[in-house]
Structure 1
Amino acid sequence: MATSAEKLGTHRCQLGEGPFYDRRTDTAWWFDIVGHKLLEHRFGGGDTIAHELPVMGSVIAPVDENRQLLAMEDGLYLREIATGSLKRIKALEDDKPGNRSNDGRLHPSGRLWLGTMGKNAEWQAGTIYLFDGTEITPLFRKVTIPNSICFSPDGRTGYFADTAPNIVWRVALDPQTAVPIGEPEVFLTEAQLPLGGHYDGSVMDADGVLWNAAWGGGSVTGFAPDRSIVRTVEIPAAQTSCPCFVGPGLDRMLVTSAWDGYSESERNADPGAGFTYMIDGSFNGTDTVAAIIDESILNGN
């Protein structure tokens, strides 16, 4: 089936990332990390709203119909959807002010994996953490640019990348706790990217296909569990950053992109960079569960 990507709205992000789709309200959310914005697109009305953030944010997950969980550069926050008010409930690397949050995703159990990195992508400055609803625990240290965090539908396998060495790993998990129970193994290497670039954000479908946005490769590619390529869709923006499934049938895909790091001439040469794109049809997407949060931590910091 031939597929192509169409631009969604007119907002252009410096560093688009972290898309999430709320099926209940038919609304997509994503970030402009460097621009300190949370974007909200209501498919029913066609509007895109930019919400200003006090610091950089990169991950959003549902809690209930009134609240969202946000991973931001200095911690985890609860956001009230109606008012946009933010409350920090857990600190994150307060001893590392040069770091920020990056990629993350909810495990089918409702527990959150999230990664940190240096604001200037300092070598091995980041860590991938698990938030189990109460505590934040380090899982993998010495990560430069954490990305591609996603999980098999049964929760028994986790995936993550370090974009700097351009490798995606997979690791066996306890499906009840999202805790690794083995050592990571290499799943994908640079040689397997069909259009080049680096592994950035990923999402996994109901068949266990890992759909990856290739930073610098201007594309999204689906990799089956046996590492074979299912399909590649080109995006009219070289720095594609992260996909998510959208639509009532979860058969469409939203893909963010960025112009971050470009010179003026490079930005002019890539006029689609920073926009958000839609790919229609034929995906077998999975819905997002709610994040687990122990109400006892809500007065913490």
Structure 2
Amino acid sequence: MSEAIVSVFSDHVCQLGEGPSYDPATDTLFWFDIVNSQLLEKRLSGGATTVHELGRMASAIAVIDEKRQLIATETGLYVRDVATGKLTLHTPVEADNPVTRSNDSRVHPCGALWMGTMGKKEEKGAGSIYWFFKGELRRLFSDITVSNSICFSQDGKIAYYTDTSTGLLMRVACDPATGLPAGEPKVFVDHRSAKGYIDGSVLDRDGILWNAVWGGSVIEAYGPDGKLVRTVAMPVTQPSCPAFVGAKADRLAVTSAWSGKDEKQRLLDLQGGMTFLLDIPVNGRFEPRVLIA
């Protein structure tokens, strides 16, 4: 098995780097510094990292069309005009609850969005996971402390998610036409006895789930049977979320964070908060476009 080459993609330090999403049409990676209310973007081919001040906590982005994006924020789903950066509220989500914010989210192959929420201070059970499709919003799972690892099989028949606080990565059958759960969730990976915590994940064309292990300094890859098939060492202790990038979606970008560390701990984790590229052979795929109406 070839060795993974890990390099710094962006040295912009995020307190809580999260939600990376690659747009192949523009060769651009977008990601967030959640707690500092920033959207960041950088072309894979190089150049500077552009920082957009959002004025609200946000955590995930999806492409609607060439001119618009959908952003998950602490008060709901906003449409972002790509040219101007203007945000327009589309669907409120927990807008009347100041305790919570958005967290991990991803688009199902049919165009539905699964969006997770959580307490801003990780309040126990304060969050939920929602389904949003063509303007309709439904709560799928409640009593979630830290929503994470939302991703889907290529055929749309399986969804994965976790409440990071449980140490259990869940798998549930899905209706490929709507992205709604079609059965009861079952444990896919029990991570409770391993180092670190299950954070963001992506699923490749081969059914391999690539997970960022917060506090574990690694990316772990699990086969369709839930067995660990590969571990990639990271130069930071808190990798947070991967995304497939490149013209063939055959590499991984990974965000990270220094959140929760004191000054002494940060000195031992100097690259914490930077965003990385993993040159590692992956059979990735691009994020579907989200259908808002």
TM-score where L is the length of structure 2:
0.98
**CA displacement at 1:169 relative to structure 2:** 0.3
What is the rounded CA distance, in whole Å, between the counterparts of 1:252 and 1:43 in structure 2?
A: 11
Counterpart CA distance in 1 for 2:268 and 2:3 is: 26
1:255 corresponds in structure 2 to: 254
Letter in structure 2 aligned against 1:217: G
Give the residue type in structure 1 aligned to 2:128: T
Cα shift readout 1:105-126 (whole Å, capped 9, x = no counterpart): 0000010001000000000100
The answer on whether the counterparts of 2:5 and 2:280 sit within 8 Å (CA) in structure 1 is: no
Q: Is the 8 A contact 1:4 1:233 kept in 2?
A: no
1:211-261 deviation digits (Å, cap 9, x = unpaired): 000000011111001112221111111011000000001111000000001
AA of the residue aligned to 1:243? P
AA at the equivalent of 1:118? G
Return the alpha-carbon distance in structure 2 between the equivalents of residues 192 and 170 of structure 1.
19
Q: Distance in 2 between matches of 1:118 and 1:72?
A: 13
Report the number of matched residues. 292
Which segment drifts farther, 233-242 or 3-12?
3-12
Q: Which runs of 5+ in 2 are unaligned?
A: none
Q: SS of the counterpart of 2:266?
A: helix
Which structure 2 residues correspond to residues 25-36 of structure 1 after superposition, within 5 A? 25-36=26-37
Where does residue 96 of structure 1 map in the other structure? 97
1:14-93 to 2 correspondences below 5 Å: 14-93=15-94
Q: Provide the residue aligned with 1:179 in structure 2.
A: 180
Give the letter aligned to residue 225 of structure 2: D
Q: Distance in 2 between matches of 1:94 and 1:7?
A: 36
Map of 1:148-187 to 2, 5 A cutoff?
Answer: 148-187=149-188
Q: Is the 8 A contact 2:3 2:280 kept in 1?
A: no
What is residue 279 of structure 1 aligned with on the other side?
278
Please tell me the residue identity of whatever aligns with 1:27.
Answer: T
Once the two structures are superposed, the pairs formed by residues 121-270 of structure 1 within 5 Å of their partners are 121-191=122-192, 193=194, 196-270=195-269
User: AA paired with 1:261?
Assistant: G
CA distance in 1 between partners of 2:246 and 2:67 (Å): 21
Taking the aligned partners of 1:280 and 1:269, their CA distance within structure 2 comes to 25
1:81-128 CA-to-partner distances (Å, cap 9, x unmatched) read 111110011111123111000000000001000100000000010000
Cα deviations across residues 144-187 of structure 1 (Å, max 9, x unaligned)?
Answer: 00000000111000000111111100000100001111100011
The percentage of aligned residue pairs carrying the same residue is: 49
Over the residues paired in the alignment, what is the CA RMSD in angstroms?
1.0
Distance 1:16 1:121 in 2: 16
In structure 1, what is the equivalent of residue 9 of structure 2? Answer: 8
Q: Which runs of 5+ in 1 are unaligned?
A: 295-301
Aligned-residue offset at 1:4? 2.7
Supply the distance in 2 between the matched residues of 1:155 and 1:248 (Cα, whole angstroms).
23
Matched residues in 1 for 2:192 and 2:17: separation? 25
Name which of structure 1's ranges 44-53 and 176-185 shifts more when overlaid on structure 2.
Answer: 44-53
Q: Look up the equivalent residue of 1:67 and give its one-letter code.
A: R
Partner-residue secondary structure (3-state), 2:148: strand
SS in structure 2 at match of 1:14: coil
Q: Does 1:109 align with 2:140?
A: no
In 2, the alpha carbon distance for the partners of 1:119 and 1:51 equals 21
Q: Which residue number in structure 2 is paired with residue 298 of structure 1?
A: none
Shift of 1:43: 2.2
8 A contact 2:167–2:192 mirrored in 1: no
TM-superposed CA distance for 1:192, in Å, is 7.0
Q: Which secondary structure state, in structure 2, belongs to the residue aligned with residue 94 of structure 1?
A: coil
Q: Distance in 2 between matches of 1:27 and 1:169?
A: 30
Q: Structure 1, residues 52-97: CA drift from partner, whole Å, max 9, x if none?
A: 1110000100000010000000010000111111001111112311
Instruction: Give the conservation status (yes or no) of the 8 Å contact 1:56–1:72.
Output: yes
Q: TM-score, normalised by structure 1?
A: 0.95
Deviation at 1:288, TM superposition (A): 1.4
Task: Describe the SS at the equivalent of 1:47.
Answer: coil
In the alignment, residue 48 of structure 2 is paired with which amino acid? D
Q: What secondary structure sits across from 2:166 in the alignment?
A: coil
